[in-house]
Amino acid sequence: MKAAARPLRHEDHGLLLGQLALVLAPQARTLPVAVSLLLVLLLGWRWLLWRRRAPLPSRWMLGVTAMLVLLVASALAWQAGGGVGRELAVALLGAFVILKLLECRALADATLVTQLSFYLLLTLYLSDQPFWLALYSLAIGAWVLRNWLLLHHPEARSKLAIWPLLGRMALLGLPWALALFVLFPRLEHPLWQLPQSAPRGTTGLSDTMRPGSVGQLIRSPEVALRAEVDGAQLLASALYWRALVLWDYDGTTWYPSRQRQQQLAPVPAAGTVPGIDYSITLEPSQQRWLFVLDRGQALSAGVEAAATPDGEFIARRPVEQRIRYRAQSTLTPAPGWLPPGTRRLALSLPAGNPRARALAAQWAETHADPAARVQAALRLFAAAPFAYTLRPPPLGREQVDSFVFDTRRGFCEHYAGSFVFLMRAAGVPARVVTGYQGGEYNPIGRHYVVRQSDAHAWAEVWLDGRGWVRVDPTSAVAPSRIEQGLDAAVGDEAAAWRPSQQPGWLQDLRWAYEGVVYTWQRWVLQYDHAQQAQLLDTLGAGARPGQLLAGALGVLCLLALVPLWRRRGPVDPLEAAYVSLCRLLARHGCDRAPAEGPQDFAARASARLPHAADAIGAVTAIYIGLRYGNVATSRRAESVAAMRAGIRQVAAALRTRKA
């Protein structure tokens, strides 16, 4: 329906300006800084005009401003490679809505701005869908609806309880929304892929390791993954979340073996092999590897990934959005035999570091058993003055020699890299493994929260008869790092945000919030085809989501009629009989006027339909006597029956005349 063309009041402009500012505020999370400043300038211009009650700009000035906005957008698109991504598209929409607000003079313009505000609210979900954003958008959406009602009906402010009305509307729509969300068939893949304006940066672990590379993540509080383990809570020493195996060393940096990463094999489906069952919610990393607990055995069937010979799980495409998968792992090494090519790879070393080579040769000569050489290296690191620190001194050109014999202060990558070098020099096949170690257990959500600050590097050595055995040299110098976490190991070096630095009540609030976030992600954001199928199996619906949805909507339709049925008061038989008489006469061309009394109506109907005049007069006399007379209650039912009989006589007379 077209809105009335009436001018807007000053307070109407204030409502529109305020709601648009609240709608655009969360866009600052994803928009470039230059674009956010442009939107702030446009909003500030409109606010100054409203504040000073100044006239709106001319069409010529708005046209020039629109051209400048397009020039800025073109420059940003050219800088991004010539494409218009979703961030720039959202920014253009927001800018032109503000420009529309700058020419908003009538109610029709205000209606368009309000409708576009809803579209801008929906664009908030194009990048991510955090829990707080859902609450924010619901609150702002209700505010926009309130403003819309006041724009069209200013008198509603004094005549209606607006917020209770909106609350009742939301409660009426909630069952429908839940039924459609839970039962509407879910797709395994999205219908479309939204374009990105530019590739997102890689977050988390890298596929290489050098001194300081892992330590750079220690100060990052960002969540890397959340894990929910079936059964009892695991010990902290068992929480090794494996990512990559590094084989090649050039004297500075450790690299994975590209050849071995190309030897991919299908991954067994979870539930087909024995092991620890758990679920992982992995945050976007723009990398292809998937994290598993220690030695992964299987993944859920819907995950498009393959396994390398080293127990790495590589996805078909980078993890660009949050994913959830089931997995199975074992905490014990698998015995077997080491192929000659793999043994040569696990013993290869670059030239250099003569002091470390001499020490390793001494261990090889002294200890015939490789396990004893491992223990000799661990005893070396456990002895002073080796220390675990987030601020290690710089290393010399021969990095292993410099660390083992000179600085002796480092982080996990220093100890893992030096240990593997010493083991290889001592004739023990060894490799570096990177991933995360530990994680905070949320007692409210009953899941582990693993952050980027839990990044870790450890080693694996090959022992005949036992296979690849995990050895964490960090545990020798700082056992508290493994048993109690990073906070206990670094002490005063921990960042202020770390849990050990927070009071108990703040930790409880944080766990409660983390539990809400995890529940939101698991049951709302990640409610996919597999979870829907599991829910339908639990309900006994099997593969019939459409039928169940139709039944649920049918029940809701019937329930929607309940308020209407309850509003109907008791039916007065006298009034019902008279209404039936009026309808009968209306079908024969004699309609009763709204304010026409029964006696006047009977006189007019008798004049129009003389062949039924006697019957109409008799029925009307009974009605007037019952409605306005003093008829005993005992005779009332008998009189109503007589009135109904008289109506049948009227109908018979009308039929006879028509025949």
3-state secondary structure 375-386: HHHHHHHHCCCC
What would the mean pLDDT of 204-233 be, rounded to a whole number?
Answer: 85
The catalytic position among 294, 310, 401, 472 is 472
> Rounded distance, CA 147 to CA 113, Å?
11
Q: Select from 434, 515, 50, 491 the least CA-distant residue to 244.
A: 434
| pLDDT for residue 514 is more than 50 | yes
Q: Is the pLDDT of residue 292 over 80?
A: yes
| Closest to 249 measured CA to CA, from 422, 390, 372 | 422
- Tell me what pLDDT residue 523 has: 79
| Inter-residue contact 488 to 500 (CB < 8 Å) | yes
d(CA 401, CA 236): 32
Residue that has been written with the tokens 């060393």 in this structure: 249
The long-range contacts involving 249-252, CB below 8 angstroms and separated by at least 24 positions, are 249/348, 249/349, 249/350, 249/417, 249/420, 249/421, 250/350, 251/350, 251/351, 251/352, 251/353, 251/398, 251/399, 252/210, 252/399
Q: For residues 20 and 46, give the distance between their C-alpha atoms in angstroms, rounded to a whole number.
A: 11
Contact 313, 296 (CB under 8 A): yes
Number of DSSP helices (H) and strands (E) in the chain, helices first = 25, 19
- Structural tokens at position 353: 């570091």
Which domains, from first to last, does the chain contain? Answer: 10-160 (no CATH), 215-330 (no CATH), 340-430+457-494 (3.10.620.30), 573-658 (no CATH)
Where are any strands of DSSP class E within 371-508?
Answer: 387-388, 409-410, 430-437, 440-442, 447-451, 455-463, 467-471
CB-based contacts of 185, cutoff 8 Å, min separation 6: 532, 545, 546, 549
CA–CA gap between residue 285 and residue 321 (Å, rounded) = 8
Calpha distance 529→224 (Å, rounded): 24
The whole-angstrom distance between residue 354's C-alpha and the CA centroid of its chain comes to 54
184: Cβ contacts below 8 Å, ≥ 6 apart: 545, 549
User: Mean pLDDT across the stretch 503-529?
Assistant: 78
pLDDT given for residue 503 in this prediction: 67
Q: Is 504 exposed, middle or buried (0-12, 13-18, 19+ CB in 10 A)?
A: exposed
Mean pLDDT score across all residues of the chain:
84
User: Please, which pLDDT band fits residue 569 given cuts at 50, 70 and 90?
Assistant: low
Q: In the structure, what pLDDT confidence band is assigned to residue 271 with cuts at 50, 70 and 90? A: low
Q: Is 650:586 a contact under the CB 8 Å cutoff? A: no
Find the catalytic residue in 412, 414, 447, 487: 412
Q: Which residue has the tokens 């758990």?
A: 278
Q: Are 236 and 483 in contact (CB under 8 A)?
A: yes
* pLDDT at residue number 246: 96
Q: Is the pLDDT of residue 363 over 90?
A: yes
Which is it for the CA torsion 114, 46, 34, 28, positive or negative? Answer: negative
Cβ atoms of residues 340 and 304 within 8 Å: no
Known active-site residue 412: yes
**Using an 8 Å Cβ cutoff, are 270 and 328 in contact?**
yes
Structure tokens at 560: 């929607």
What percent of the chain is modeled with pLDDT above 70?
Answer: 88
Q: Residue 542 has which token pair? A: 């099997």
Answer yes or no: 487 catalytic. no
3-state secondary structure of 298: strand
The pLDDT value recorded for residue 187 is: 66
Tell me the average pLDDT across 547-569: 71
Asked if residues 584 and 646 have their Cβ atoms less than 8 Å apart, the reply is no
pLDDT band at 1 (very low <50, low <70, confident <90, very high): very low
pLDDT reading at 198 higher than 60:
no
Once rounded to an integer, what is the mean pLDDT over residues 265-272?
78
Q: 267 and 305 in contact (C-beta within 8 Å)? A: yes
Rounded to an integer, what distance in angstroms lies between the CA atom of residue 416 and that of residue 399?
13
Rg of the chain (C-alpha set): 38
If DSSP codes are grouped into helix, strand and coil, which group holds residue 325? strand
> pLDDT tens digits for 440-499?
888 888 899 999 888 999 999 999 999 999 999 988 887 765 555 555 555 555 444 455
**The predicted structure's pLDDT at residue 189:** 57
pLDDT at position 568 is: 58
Per-residue pLDDT of 378-397, as tens digits, reads 999 988 788 888 788 889 89
Rounded CA separation 208/245 (Å): 10
456 is catalytic: yes
Report the pLDDT value the prediction gives residue 201, as an integer from 0 to 100.
46
Question: What is the DSSP secondary structure assignment for residue 202, as one 8-state letter?
Answer: P
Q: Which of 13, 414, 447, 456 is catalytic?
A: 456
Tens-digit pLDDT profile for residues 105-153: 888 899 999 999 999 998 888 877 888 888 999 999 999 999 888 888 8
Q: Is 358 exposed, middle or buried (0-12, 13-18, 19+ CB in 10 A)?
A: exposed
Beta partners for 631?
none
Above 50 in pLDDT, residue 3?
Answer: no
Tokens linked to 636: 């009332």
pLDDT at 244 > cutoff 50: yes
Q: How far apart (Å, rounded) are the C-alpha atoms in residues 390 and 508?
A: 27
Report pLDDT for 497. 47
Q: What span, in angstroms and rounded, lies between the C-alpha atoms of 342 and 329?
A: 23
Q: Which two tokens stand for residue 650?
A: 């009227």
- Six token digits for residue 104: 């908003």
Q: Residues 75-94: what's their mean pLDDT?
A: 79
Phi/psi for 318 (5° steps) reads -60, 150
Interval 568-583 mean pLDDT: 80
- For residues 291 and 172, the model is more confident at 291
Cβ contacts of 225 within 8 Å, gap of 6 or more:
241, 280, 281, 282, 283, 291, 436, 450
For the cut 90, the answer to whether the pLDDT of residue 272 exceeds it is no
Element (H, E) at 281: strand 276-282
Distance linking the first and last C-alpha atoms of the chain = 48
* pLDDT score of 73 more than 90: no
445-472 per-residue burial string, b: 16 or more CB within 10 A, e: under 16: bebbbbbbbbbbbbbbbbbeeebbbebb
Above 80 in pLDDT, residue 249? yes
Q: How confident is the model at residue 637 (pLDDT cuts 50, 70, 90)?
A: confident
pLDDT at residue 385 in the model: 84
Percent of the chain clearing pLDDT 90 (strictly above): 33
CA nearest neighbour of 95 among 32, 13, 11, 141: 32
